[in-house]
A and B are shown apart, each in its own frame.
Chain A
Amino acid sequence: MVIQIIATIIILIIFYQLVKKIIKDKASLTRIIFWVLFWGISLIIIWLPKETIDNIGSIFGVGRGIDVLVYLSIILLFYSNFKQTEKIDKLEKEITKLVREIAKLERR
């Protein structure tokens, strides 16, 4: 029960941040929809009765329903990490290009 309340509070804080971003128009629409869905579903799963969650788990071939969420989170984390590395690589390449152009202009 305690963990469910803590998780709910955390999710509500995240929701609050999302709303703030929407108001400030900082995030892209697809990203907002994704995270609203992700955290919304998480919130529902947290408050579902244990039997229901475990039934969902058994559909995926996993004993406990909560494990599905954990596995899913790990996959998502890996994916976002991969995406970020890709983005950093691209930025690095662009920085090099910029530095190179400046160097060419300043050559003696």
Chain B
Amino acid sequence: MDISQVYITIPLYNDSKMILKVIKSLNDNGYNNIVVVDDGSSDNGYELVKNNTNVIITKHIINRGQGAALQTAMEIAINKGAKYIVHFDSDGQHNPKDIQPMLNTLIEGNYDIVLGSRFLKKNKIPLKKRILLKGGILFTYLFSHIWLTDVHNGIRVMTSETAKKLNIQHDRFEHASEILDKIKILNLKYTEVPVTIKYTKYSMSKGQSISNSINIAYKLISSKIKE
């Protein structure tokens, strides 16, 4: 596999403290095709990235949500000729070393999409987070009839054909469930690969709250009813 065919897509929202480190760690691991979409941040992340790196960068003039930013990043990557697309978070909780095994699995297993799972590896996961995620797993099963060991994990690897088919419609955090739902609807071949998640005070402060999770569930259910 030619690494120049791999595009890393990063939605950026008020993560100026971490983003340069994240980009550097990706570069250090050989990934140079990086698409960063600043989602109307109020900090100077966009300028920092633009002035200090060579990545492809653009910004949403107003905040539209992580799902919307990812979709923009994917469209740019596809337009640039990407063959493989990686979803990666900007807060430094993902490990760039996890990308290669995911890509290998994707290609060797002829999968459409490979999802990262923090529960397949020994990860120190805070209790509150653990409960929330297990609830999410159950919800995903009930909602999309797809049983996973982890949901709402931001690291994913897919082919560009899959990315085109996914076409994320949910602008905010519901996009993570939307992707799983579409895997089922579009009958995509998927699997999970163990990944590391680094929990820091910083990444925890940016994570999902319980009330937010309820909100996500509500939005998903109401959109399904409208269909």
Contacts and interface: CB of A to CB of B under 8 A. Distances in A.
B37 to A, nearest CB: 6
**Contact size range, A:** 10 to 19
A92 B71 CA distance: 15
B56 interface: yes
Given A93-B169, A96-B171, A108 B57 contact: yes
A108 B60 contact: no
B227 to A, nearest CB: 12
Contacts of B62: 95, 99
Nearest to B40: A99
Interface of A: 86, 92-93, 95-96, 99-100, 102-104, 106-108
Interface in B55-100: 56-62, 64, 68, 71-72, 75-76, 79
Interface string B41-63: 00000000010000011111110
Interface residues of B, number: 19
Provide the main secondary structure of the chain B interface.
mixed
B224 interface: no
Given A107-B56, A107-B57, A107-B76, A99 B50 contact: no
A103 B71 contact: no
B64 A96 contact: yes
Given A99-B68, A108-B57, 17 more contacts: A92-B171, A95-B62, A96-B68, A96-B171, A99-B61, A100-B60, A100-B71, A100-B72, A100-B75, A102-B61, A103-B37, A103-B58, A103-B60, A103-B61, A104-B76, A104-B79, A107-B57
A95 B60 CA distance: 11
A5 B162 CA distance: 65
A106 B59 contact: yes
Across the A-B interface, give the 3 residue pairs with the lowest CB-CB distance, nearest first. A107-B58, A103-B58, A99-B60
A100 B37 CA distance: 10
Contacts of A103: 37, 58-61, 72
A92 B169 CA distance: 11
Contacts of A99: 60-62, 64, 68
B171 A108 contact: no
B226 interface: yes
Nearest to A105: B58
26 contacts: A86-B226, A93-B171, A95-B64, A96-B64, A96-B171, A99-B60, A99-B68, A100-B60, A100-B64, A100-B68, A100-B71, A102-B60, A103-B37, A103-B58, A103-B60, A103-B61, A103-B72, A104-B72, A106-B58, A106-B59, A107-B56, A107-B57, A107-B76, A108-B56, A108-B57, A108-B58
